[in-house]
Chain A
Amino acid sequence: MKRWNTEDENHVLNGILFEIYFNSRGQFRQRDFKCSFIDEIFSSENRNNFEKAFEFITNQIMPFDEFVFYMPFYPPTTLPIEILFKEVSDFYEDYDETVFIIESIKLHNVEIMVSAGKNHFGSVECTLEDFVKKISSELCIPKSQLRLTMNFKKTDLKNISYPFSLSLSKRVHTKLGLNN
């Protein structure tokens, strides 16, 4: 990639970063960012080598900061996320299983989980590792920059359940009409 540098600019990487956040018409996506390779693209090595490209994309997405949880500044910052689980037992015939249901996801002490996890219908069960991937994707942040706080030990969280329609938003209170 370095051979595509022109002085300190790399327009190929600028294009890659732009594609994450903007659609084919150049409009900001608002959600469903293209995050599949966020760990690789936002690596600290890339940020050190291509500082200008990260400055470019930060400037592009800054006007949309109400939709963006994580700004790819240089140097990288972390995002403190607090997750509250509720432990429940599921019984299937003679099989007893403990499931940890997501009750709340907060950023800086503010709720960001749109769909309440109280209704067990239409839920997804996964491991903690897969759930962290899901959070990383929803927030469009590399996993290394997530600072998770949870009310159970990581080793306990073997079976996590979250609503199928789980989405995260900075405007949860507005959506639920709590500001009125």
Chain B
Amino acid sequence: MLSIINTKTVDESTRFLIGRNILQVAEGGEFSADSILRNLSN
């Protein structure tokens, strides 16, 4: 899902909030967010 966002149009604050949301939903068991955290270096 993260891959469809155009990084050039997203400012720093939004990026930060996206990061917070990724962990929130991953902790809640969301599989796609889980996958992002397991492959952060990609």
Contacts and interface: CB of A to CB of B under 8 A. Distances in A.
B37 A12 contact: no
A1 B7 CA distance: 11
Contacts of A17: 19
A2 B7 CA distance: 11
A36 B26 contact: yes
Nearest to A38: B37
B37 A19 contact: no
Interface of chain B: mostly helix, strand, loop or mixed = helix
Interface string B15-42: 1111111111011000000101111111
Interface size on A, as a range, is 20 to 34
Nearest to B22: A16
A123 B25 CA distance: 30
B33 to A, nearest CB: 9
Given A3-B7, A11-B16, A12-B22, A34 B27 contact: yes
Interface string A36-53: 110011010110011000
Contacts, number: 74
Nearest to B38: A40
A49 B22 contact: no
Interface in A1-59: 1-4, 6, 9, 11-20, 34, 36-37, 40-41, 43, 45-46, 49-50
B12 to A, nearest CB: 5
Given A4-B7, A12-B15, A19 B23 contact: yes
Interface of B: 7, 12-13, 15-24, 26-27, 34, 36-42
Interface of A: 1-4, 6, 9, 11-20, 34, 36-37, 40-41, 43, 45-46, 49-50
Interchain residue pairs A-B with the least CB separation, the first 4: A15-B19, A11-B15, A15-B16, A19-B23
